Amino acid sequence: MSDTGAPDVSDENPLLRVEGLQKHFQINEGLISSLLRATMGKEADYVHAVDGVSFELERGETLGLAGESGCGKTTTGMSLVKLHEPTDGRIEFRGMDLTESDDEELDEFRQNAQMIFQDPFESLNPRMTVYDTLAEPLRIHDIENETARIRRALEFAELQPPDHYFDQYPHELSGGQRQRVAIARALVLDPDFIVADEPVSMLDVSLRAGVLSLMERMTEEFNLSVVYISHDLSLLRHMCDRLAIMYMGEIVEKGATEDIIENPQHPYTRSLINAVPVPDPDVGRERVELAGEVGDAIDVPSGCRFHGRCSEYIGDICETDSPSLEQKAEFDDDREVSCHLYDSCGKQS
Amino acid sequence: MATQDKSSIFADIDEGEVDQEDENVDRWRRNLRLWRETLAKQWRMLTDDLMVRLAMITIAFFMIVAVFAPFIAPRGPLTRQYEGDAGIIIADWVEPSFLSSESEYLLGTTAEGFDIFSQLVYGSRAALLVGLVAAVFTAGIGTLVGLTAGYYGGKIDDTLMRIVDFLYGMPLLPTVIILVALMGPSLWNILFAIIVLQWRSTARVIRSQALSLRERPFVKAAQVAGASDWHIISRHLAPNVLPLSFLYGAFAIAWAILAEAGVSFIGLGDPNTVSWGTMLQSSRAYSALDFGAWWWFIPPGICIGLVVISGFLIGRGYEEITNPELR
Ligand SMILES: Nc1ncnc2c1ncn2[C@@H]1O[C@H](COP(=O)(O)OP(=O)(O)OP(=O)(O)O)[C@@H](O)[C@H]1O
Ligand SMILES: [Mg+2]
């Protein structure tokens, strides 16, 4: 964490730039089904988990990824920290292309990008003590002052006194404490970028506020760029500067959080916002349950992927032309929507 | 990287403002203590069960006997106690001392003139050697192969699992017999053949464990932190499958001893070593049963049974610890 040179590169580029990210999973892998496929001359089937996602994330900025279950939020998040090799597309971290990074660059990236997982009962090794869990990243990167750093990270995560937790195993901790340990582990390397995948959804409701405020503090004090993943829009509204709404592996709308929540434009965003209970009483909205099921994104619908469930279906164009995510003439904020309802302000019709 | 615009909460630590020399936890002492605690806990749980305790005492008893065999056995196991005419083996065996007052042999002698009690004592060496070596190797190879296949998946997994499937196509005892017949009858060849066939079940079970472990978020977290494959296999996968390896090791003791006895019984045992299996074989060759010389074949039979059952009981007890649903 101490290369002093070349702030020029990192200041011109956003911290993270994602361009056309795709991640497809082959289904029916394995010998028998591939033999069957070969004899019957069929193509392999793919789940289009992430299918062309682009966005930028500035230093210190927080971005929320929202969408129904299975729309590819986790897959996107995991690709961002290089847990998945993208099928296509580019991810640049401080101007460095992750798909073509050498060992040294990758090592640098591994020190600076961390992930917090949904289930604190699964994200800590049951056979490792808290101390060893936090020491692991430090040892991997040969960072000194192990104990002092661990102590500091645990204190920051409000696990006090830290020494008391050193020899505890995960099963001796409560869910909230575990998630705090997981957060401390992510912070102990002093990263710049964190992906938080549903960080509180497995926690008891009474514990959520505490963990969320810890994460706010963490974003603040570490000047972190964070991608929050959640299906809970009220949580994202609270935590994020910007929002991106995903549907079937694509971003359908993105922009500043308040713009999107107060004034959603994509029909999918609207139904998503109406589907969640809005805590604010003077935002009187009728609640609409999302009708229909998201497919598993194997046979992706032609045209707009949402057309089968869309309440504002306007005709053939929805089924034939796939809309591109772009700024529309109707809106003067920097929102981007992919929907045929609005006029492109760019070149195409 | 732009450290200037970022105030790290670790800044003072990195600048050495914290006196770190005596702050750092002594890693080795700490690890040793944690290991001791874990082992002690597992040991307590294991020995909680009366049957497991008895089984352990039995194995310990045979281990002591095997180690101190030269002091316990009154005679050499393959020392002829009397010579027949022109050195030809004669079938004038001696009855056990508790049946005949003239006999000075605790369990009598074989038709070849060997002291049965001494053979029994020395036979424990072969049994435990076969059992323990087979256990260590089947569990070791199986765990290594299973972890590799499960963690890497893909082609590596396919290849390794095809080998395992192939081995599963071969029945244990007949294949060991053929292998030993080809390689020559020696204890090491028998052991080798048993190990070659036995690691398959450990490998398969460990692989399926590794397959699910590698998808667990704590493994993902280690990958995000930059851990190497070897680091993940040794620190995250291995400790979590170790109880299972141990379990299969305990079962392997029993299977290996049974297999060795089986191979020896049909006459492919090591001619220079006495094992309980070779004792059974020679008692059959001389039709001890027809002559009512039960003291020749009952004692080795009981010994085999005791050790084998003990192996299964320990494995079973451990299974209950590692898999609480069985309780
Ligand atoms: N390793 C994998 N192999 C095959 N398919 C996968 C894999 N990971 C995810 N998928 C599929 O990709 C799609 C997107 O999954 P993903 O977990 O990214 O969704 P999500 O938005 O995080 O959903 P949730 O809200 O339920 O967590 C799903 O259809 C899922 O079944
Ligand atoms: Mg998810």
Number of domains in chain A: 1
Residues B191, B189: Cα–Cα separation, whole Å: 5
First to last CA, chain A: 48
- Report whether residue A66 contacts ligand 1, using a CB cutoff of 6 Å: no
Amino acid identity of A326?
E
Are A110 and B14 an interchain contact pair (Cβ–Cβ within 8 Å)? no
Residues A245, A36: Cα–Cα separation, whole Å: 38
Whether residue A328 lies inside any domain: the answer is yes
Whether residue A96 lies inside any domain: the answer is yes
Q: What is the pLDDT of residues A81-103, one digit of tens each?
A: 999 999 999 999 988 888 888 88
Pairing, β A336-337 against β A250-256: antiparallel
Query: Cβ(A201)–Cβ(A230) under 8 Å?
Result: yes
Whether residue A169 lies inside any domain: the answer is yes
**pLDDT > 90: what percent of chain B?**
28
Average confidence (pLDDT) over B16-40: 72
Query: What is the strand order of the sheet A62-66 is part of?
Result: A113-116, A193-197, A225-229, A62-66, A242-247, A250-256, A336-337
Amino acid identity of B291?
F
Average confidence (pLDDT) over A12-36: 82
User: Separation of A49 CA from ligand 1 center, angstroms?
Assistant: 6
Residues A29, A341: Cα–Cα separation, whole Å: 40
For atom 25 of ligand 1, the residue with the nearest CA is A69
Are B218 and A122 an interchain contact pair (Cβ–Cβ within 8 Å)? yes
> Hey, where are the domains in chain B?
42-81+98-326
* Ion ligand 2, residues whose Cβ is below 5 A away: A 74
Q: What is the pLDDT of residues A159-168, one digit of tens each?
A: 889 889 988 9
A282-286, B145-149, B213-217: least confidently modelled range: A282-286
| pLDDT for the residue B82 | 67
| pLDDT for the residue A349 | 37
Average confidence (pLDDT) over A177-183: 94
Residues B131, B126: Cα–Cα separation, whole Å: 8
For atom 26 of ligand 1, the residue with the nearest CA is A69
Q: What is the pLDDT of residues B47-60, one digit of tens each?
A: 888 888 999 999 99
Which two tokens mark B53? 């305790």
Average confidence (pLDDT) over A208-219: 91
Which class is B42-81+98-326 in CATH? Answer: mainly alpha
Residues B307, B56: Cα–Cα separation, whole Å: 10
Domain that holds residue A44: 16-337
Nearest to B192 by CA among B137, B262, B150: B137
ipTM: 0.86
Query: Cβ(B135)–Cβ(B256) under 8 Å?
Result: yes
Residues A147, A153: Cα–Cα separation, whole Å: 10
Whether residue A346 lies inside any domain: the answer is no
Selecting from B2, B8, B13 the residue whose C-beta is nearest the C-beta of A145 gives B13
**pLDDT > 90: what percent of chain A?**
37
Chain A residues with CB inside 8 Å of B21's CB?
none
Whether residue A3 lies inside any domain: the answer is no
Residues A231, A200: Cα–Cα separation, whole Å: 11
Query: Cβ(A225)–Cβ(A240) under 8 Å?
Result: no
List the CATH number of the domain containing A212.
Answer: 3.40.50.300
| pLDDT for the residue B152 | 93
